[in-house]
Amino acid sequence: MWMNQPGDHSSDLGLERLASVNLNLLVPLLALLEEGSVTRAAARVGMSQPAMSHALGRMRRMIGDDLVTRQGSGLVLTPRALELIAPLRDVLRQTAQVVNFPGFDPAHDSRTITVAMTTSTAFVVGPALARLIAERAPNATLRVRNFVEPQASDFTDDGVDVVLLSEAFASPHPRERLYENRWVVIAHPDSDPEASALDLLTSVPHVTYDSRHRVAPYAALDAHGVQYRIGQLVADHLLIPHLVATAGGVAVHTLRVAVAMRERVDLRIEEFPLPISPLRVDMVWNPRLADAAFIGWLREILVEATTFEAQLSDASRWHQESASSSRQTSRGIRQPTEK
């Protein structure tokens, strides 16, 4: 006899009906709805493709809906399937908590941690990120994936945990601010020391990023009627400071990259001469990642890896040295406010 008599739950949850349902289908069902591909869903949950195709038939009967329909060479989710994704994620996340899977333990976890970002972001963030993960998760493997312009698959495929994304790029998923990076002017070290940043921008050919999207500093230059000439177009944004330092020219870049690059090549750095908002970089977490403890841990690692106090202290020295030459009043251009 029970010491504590259970209450009457005969109408709760519909347990009698659930007992006749194969709940093991929920995991492959979510994989199929998220992947939109029988092949990828099967690989994700460790099933063969025929087994996944057979499971799809059982899912359709269980849900009473086709779930996916073929369109061209791919599959398209039905309206009912789209409605199921969010509640399925919630149910399976809570199920994982109920069965008490071992929590994330960085000291012993041997997972591969995948962070996607541009090469410029990796150049700035990568060394500190690699060092911190090696120190605090010694059995883990850091995998850095690079992109030029992110595609929808970059946010979810190939085991990516988080994407570091500048505000210049759109995201189909929620964003979380990581850091800001202000714009500066960079030039060859032998450029005229008496020339201000604005003088350099108007008199020296520019080395610029070859992109369909116009970066904010050039929009500001155009808005203020500043005349300039493009001398080189470069597909890799990270290559620009190296080209400027070794072959000449002027460019607009971000402070963090410029300061890090100046440790390797001689480079002149000046404040951008117009008021402009900094470039903001966000974290975009894989929406399929349900390990809250791991997300919280990696978030702390990323915040620490992007702390910029030491480099800002170093940068303040060149800012003080160049302050008099970077101030521009002769053309009636308003000075940028400090960020």
How confident is the model at residue 206, as a pLDDT?
97
Instruction: Check the CA dihedral 306-308-310-314 and report its sign.
Output: positive
Mean pLDDT, the chain, as a whole number? Answer: 84
Under the banding of pLDDT at 50, 70 and 90, the label for residue 337 is: very low
Question: What is the enclosing helix (H) or strand (E) of 53?
Answer: helix 49-63
pLDDT of 104 > 50? The answer is: yes
Residue with tokens 């908590």: 97
How confident is the model at residue 40, as a pLDDT?
85
Q: Which domains does the chain have, with CATH numbers?
A: 19-98 (1.10.10.10), 112-180+280-307 (3.40.190.10), 183-277+312-326 (3.40.190.10)
pLDDT of 5 > 50? The answer is: yes
Which comes out higher in pLDDT, residue 318 or 278? Answer: 278
Q: What is the per-residue pLDDT across 174-226, written as a single tens digit (0 to 9) for each?
A: 999 999 999 999 999 999 999 999 999 999 999 999 887 778 999 999 999 99
> Comparing C-alpha atoms, which of 297, 292, 284, 303 is closest to residue 140?
297
Structure tokens at 288: 């399929």
Return the C-alpha torsion angle 81, 84, 86, 87, nearest 10. Answer: -170
Q: What is the per-residue pLDDT across 230-287, written as a single tens digit (0 to 9) for each?
A: 999 999 889 999 999 999 999 999 999 999 999 999 999 999 999 999 999 999 999 8
The mean per-residue pLDDT over the stretch 141-157 comes to: 88
* C-alpha span between 73 and 54 (Å, rounded): 20
* C-alpha span between 91 and 302 (Å, rounded): 29
How confident is the model at residue 35, as a pLDDT?
83
The mean per-residue pLDDT over the stretch 144-170 comes to: 87
The mean per-residue pLDDT over the stretch 278-298 comes to: 91
Structure tokens at 273: 């001469």
pLDDT of 100 > 70? The answer is: no
Query: What are residue 146's DSSP bridge partners?
Result: 117
How confident is the model at residue 11, as a pLDDT?
53
pLDDT of 95 > 90? The answer is: no
pTM: 0.69
How confident is the model at residue 290, as a pLDDT?
76
